[in-house]
Structure formats: C-alpha cells, structure tokens
Structure 1
Amino acid sequence: MASTLRDSKDVLVSRAKRQMEAFFGDSDLTTRQKLALTCRIAFDGGHDSGLAGQISARGPRPGTYYTQRLGLGFDEITEDNLLLVDEDLQVLEGEGMPNPANRFHTWIYRVREDVNCIVHTHSLHTAALAMLEVPLVVSQMDTTPLYDDCAFLKDWPGVPVGNEEGEIIAGALGDKRAIILAHHGQLVTGATIEEACNLAMLIERAARLQLLAMAAGTIQPLDPELAREAHDWTSTDRRNKANFAYYARRALRNHPDCIKGQVGN
C-alpha cells in the first residue's frame, strides 16, 4: 500500500537527498585519476579541439595544480603523464611543458578559494555560440545547473597567455561557476573535479540546445523561482559524484589505458 502519495514536495525532496547521501559515496580515485578521466570524458563529449584547452585541478600544496602536458590531446592523457606546476607554470613533477594559456587558471585559483578544478575548452557548440557574442540562455530542465550561474565575457582580450587576460577572465567569471568567452570558448569551475567535469559536459549540451532552438524560433524563458529550485536540486555533491561515476565508467570502456584500477560509485 502506497504511503507517500500525500507527502509534500519538500518532504519528498528531503527523503531523496538522504537516500543519495546513503547510496552515492566518495570514490577511491586519486586527483590524478579523476583529472585524467575528465580529459577522456571531455574528449568523448565533443570538447576536442586539437591541443587547445586546459583542464586543471589544485595540487597537494598551496599554489600548485595539475594539468596536462602541451603536445598531448585530451584522448592521450593518463594519470602518469599529467604535470604538477606552480603559479608561474614551472613544472614540479612530470616531463614537458604546460600550455602557456594555463596562466589564467592561476588567476582564477588565486581569487576563488572555492574553486578546485577548472575545465576550459573550445568545444564546438560553445565556440559557435561565442562567435555570435551571445550569452548562454538556460531554458530547459536538464541545463538548469547553469541557470543564473554562467557569466559572459563579450570582449575578446586576445590569446590568454598574459597576466592581463588572466585578470580579465577571472574578473568576468566573478562568483559564477561557468562563463562563455566571446570568440573563444567556455570555462567551468567546480569545488570538486566531479562538479567541473559535469558542468563541462552540460555547458556544451546547453549551447547545442540553444543553437538548435534559436534556429527554430524564439527561446522562451523559464520561471525564475522554478529554475532556481531546479538549479539547487541538480547541483548537489552527491548528484555530481553519481554523474561523474557514470561518465567515468563509460570513458574507461573507450579508454582503458587512462588509469590504473577500477571505478566505483
């Protein structure tokens, strides 16, 4: 006999959150493994653009972070060939050099203590949207984690290898988790690698949906209160971990060389 059909939405949401806390825990993956998996997940998700784009995560000591080696595509990254660099992009662990454009990661990490991972790519549909100088419009339920959480930098500052570009991009991001960079691409951040990876996958899908909808007609707005409710419901740590675990399992079927060991929930 059903016993929950008269429960309020608030009660049902609270119950579901407790269940997610119980069923979706932390994985045993290391930072290096999560970052390598994120590179492969991004590659499979349409974020490949040759050697363009950088994915990074804070390292074991303040002022350090892991990132990929310049010269390797996202589909070639493993836990063993990642670099550990300092804020000056000097290599502390690993062989090779980082992408000089990683400099703006340094600026974001310096001003955003809540950010532990950055995914910046020139994915196809976000880059197309950036060419139009159009901000991201969130108007579909699946993309609500980005509702009122995606900034827009309209003026292209040029190739982001200088400190000026780092200050501009970090300033434009503000307190948001994501940003569309006009004539450039996208950047997302996360308190965890799982969160940043999920948002990277989502922002490319959101841009693709927006371009399709713009071609067909006029995009209609979401109700702000309901959109904020959906944003918060879909942005929890446990949902991020569950989504990432799925993406990781899928990536490992395509790229079994990416990490050593198994992926659990």
Structure 2
Amino acid sequence: MADTLRDPKSALADRARRQMNDHFGDSKLTTRQKLALTCRIAFDGGHDSGLAGQISARGQKPGTYYTQRLGLGFDEITEENLLLVDEDLQVLEGEGMPNPANRFHSWIYRVRQDVNCIIHTHSLHTAALAMLEVPLVVSQMDTTPLYDDCAFLKEWPGVPVGNEEGEIISAALGDKRAIILAHHGQLATGSTIEEACNLAVLIERAARLQLLAMSAGTVQPLDPALAREAHDWTSTDRRNAANFAYYARRALRNHPDCIKGQVDL
C-alpha cells in the first residue's frame, strides 16, 4: 500500500534531497583527474574545435590554476600533461605553454571568488547561435539549470589574448554561471569542476535545441516561477556529482588513457 500518494510536492522534494545526500557522496578523484575527464567529456559532447578553447580549474595555491597545454586537443589531455600556471600564464608545473587566451580566465578567477572551474569552447551549435547574435533562450525542462543564468556578450571584442578582453568578458559574465559570446562561443563556470562540466555539456544541447526550435517556429517562454524552481532543483552539488560521474564513466570507456589506475565512479 502506497503511503506517499497524497504528500505535497514540497515533502516529496525534501525526501528526494535527503536520499540524494545518502546515495551520492564526494568524489575521490583529484583535480587533475576531474579536469582530464572534463576535457574528454567535452570532446565527446561536440566541443571539438581543433585547438580552440580552454578548460581550467583553480590550483591549491591562490593565483594558480590548472589548464591544458597548447598544441593538444581535448581528446589528448591526461592528468599527467596538464599544466599549472599563475595569473601571468607562467608555467609552474608541466612542460609546454598554455593557450595565450587563458588570460581572461585569470580575470574571471580574480573577480569571481566563487568560481573554481572555467570551461570555454567553440562547440558547433553554440557557435552557430553566437553567429546570429542571439542570446540563449531556455525553454525546455532539461535546460533549466541555465535559466536566468546565462549572460550574453553581443559585441565581439576580438581575439581574447589581451587584458581588455579579460575585463570585457568577466564584466559581461557578471554573477551568472555561463555566457554566450557573440561570434565566438560559450563559457561555463562552476564552484566545482563537476558543476562547470555539466553546464558546458548542457549549454551545447540547449543551443542545438534552440536552433531546431527556431527553424520550426517561435520558441515559447517557460513560466518564470516554474523555471526558477527547476533551475534550483537541478543545480545542487549532489546532482552535479551524479551527472558528472555518469559522463566520466562514459568518457573512460572511450578514453581509458586519460587517467592512471582504477577509479571508483
């Protein structure tokens, strides 16, 4: 006999949160391992634009962060070939050089102390949307983590290797977790690598959905209250951990070389 069929939605939601806290614990992966997996996850998710794009995560010491080596694609990144750099992009650990465009990561980390991971890519459908100078419109349940959480920079400031671009992009991002950069691509951030990775995967799917919907008719808006409820429901640490673990298992099946040894996911 069912006992919960007349329970209010709030009670069921609280119960589900408690269950997620019980079933999904903290990851045993290192920062390097998470970042290497994120590169492979991004590659498999359509974020494969040659050497374009950067993925980074804060290091243990203030003013440092890990990122990939210029010359390697996302599908070639391992936990061992990542670089540790400072805010001036000087290499502290590893061999090679970072992408000069990492400079705007330094600016974002400076102004957003809540951000611990940045993913910037030129994924196909997001770049196509950016060519239209159209902001992301969240109008489907799966994409609601981005509802009212994706900024838009309409003016392309040029190749982002200068401090000017760092100031422009970090200001345009504001307090949002993601941004569409017109004529450029996308950027997703997170307080954890898992959060940023999930948003990066999602923003490409959202852009693809939007382009498909725009080709068939007019995209209809979500009810703001319900969209905000869905945003908050899907934007928790435990959900991010569960989603990332799934993506990581899939990435390891495709790219078993990206991390060393056995991991429990």
Question: What is the CA-CA distance between 1:260 and the residue it aligns to?
Answer: 1.3
Give the whole-Å Cα distance in 2 for the aligned partners of 1:226 and 1:261: 44
Which aligned pairs between 1:229-248 and structure 2 lie closer than 5 A? 229-248=229-248
**1:128-179 Cα deviation digits (max 9, x unpaired):** 0000000000000000000000000000000000000000000000000000
**1:226-263 Cα deviation digits (max 9, x unpaired):** 00000000000000000000000000000000001333
Residue 72, structure 1, aligned to residue 72, structure 2: yes
Which aligned pairs between 1:4-83 and structure 2 lie closer than 5 A? 4-83=4-83
Which aligned pairs between 1:157-172 and structure 2 lie closer than 5 A? 157-172=157-172
Residue 256, structure 1, aligned to residue 251, structure 2: no
- Matched residue pairs, number? 265
Which aligned pairs between 1:214-233 and structure 2 lie closer than 5 A? 214-233=214-233
Give the whole-Å Cα distance in 2 for the aligned partners of 1:264 and 1:209: 33
Q: Which residue of 2 aligns with 1:113?
A: 113
Q: Which residue of 2 aligns with 1:85?
A: 85
Q: Which residue of 1 aligns with 2:192?
A: 192
Shift >2 Å, 4+ stretches: 261-265
Residue identity matched to 1:199: L
Give the whole-Å Cα distance in 2 for the aligned partners of 1:112 and 1:130: 24
TM score, norm. by length of structure 1: 0.99
State the secondary structure of the residue aligned to 1:46.
coil
TM score, norm. by length of structure 2: 0.99
State the secondary structure of the residue aligned to 1:47.
coil
Question: What is the CA-CA distance between 1:91 and the residue it aligns to?
Answer: 0.0
Question: What is the CA-CA distance between 1:30 and the residue it aligns to?
Answer: 0.1
Give the whole-Å Cα distance in 2 for the aligned partners of 1:155 and 1:263: 43
Question: What is the CA-CA distance between 1:18 and the residue it aligns to?
Answer: 0.3
Residue identity matched to 1:8: P
Question: What is the CA-CA distance between 1:101 and the residue it aligns to?
Answer: 0.0
**1:186-239 Cα deviation digits (max 9, x unpaired):** 000000000000000000000000000000000000000000000000000000
Percent identical: 89
**1:21-44 Cα deviation digits (max 9, x unpaired):** 000011110000000000000000
| Greater displacement, 253-262 / 51-60 | 253-262
Give the whole-Å Cα distance in 2 for the aligned partners of 1:119 and 1:264: 24
Residue identity matched to 1:109: Y
Question: What is the CA-CA distance between 1:12 and the residue it aligns to?
Answer: 0.2
Residue 211, structure 1, aligned to residue 218, structure 2: no
Give the whole-Å Cα distance in 1 for the aligned partners of 2:130 and 2:178: 13
Q: Which residue of 2 aligns with 1:150?
A: 150
Residues 54 and 121 in structure 1, CA contact (< 8 A), matched pair in contact too: yes
Give the whole-Å Cα distance in 1 for the aligned partners of 2:176 and 2:27: 26
Give the whole-Å Cα distance in 1 for the aligned partners of 2:156 and 2:262: 42
Give the whole-Å Cα distance in 2 for the aligned partners of 1:162 and 1:149: 26
Give the whole-Å Cα distance in 2 for the aligned partners of 1:236 and 1:66: 24
Residue identity matched to 1:242: A
Q: Which residue of 2 aligns with 1:138?
A: 138
Give the whole-Å Cα distance in 2 for the aligned partners of 1:90 and 1:255: 29
Segments of 5+ residues of structure 1 without an aligned counterpart are none
State the secondary structure of the residue aligned to 2:62.
coil
Give the whole-Å Cα distance in 1 for the aligned partners of 2:214 and 2:263: 39
